[in-house]
Amino acid sequence: MIKILLIEDVVDNIELTRKILVSAGYEVVHASEAEAGMEQAVSEQPDLILLDLGLPDYDGQTVAGWLSADPRTAAIPVVAYTAWPEATARQMVTSYGCVGYIPKPILKVNDFLTQIASFLPSQQEYDPSR
């Protein structure tokens, strides 16, 4: 089963994201803060990390830097998961070393799941009929 680590501190975003991903057949692990997210990334070895850029303890750039610098997590794709404006988000993706970004809030479930699948190492295509 594909495992996704969600590093997010807003309860509503956590619940909605988890519900959508689990219903699509993904395993979801979660951390509400950057340090806990780093620990989860190392211990859980997820296939993908969804990283909120505005966490209570450290900013997304710091977390992305830690993840890319640690040989235990450097190969895990990190996707910025943010409500920031698109132009800012795209700029942050480049400067943070993320593989891309997904905007919040989730407006269309199938679009969200297609985006998730596109960032997975296997480049799996989301099949809405599963």
Sketch out the chain's domains with CATH numbers.
3-120 (3.40.50.2300)
Sheet holding 3-7, edge to edge: 27-31, 3-7, 48-51, 78-82, 100-103
91 confidence band (pLDDT: 50, 70, 90): confident
User: What pTM does this model have?
Assistant: 0.91
Span 61-84, average pLDDT? 93
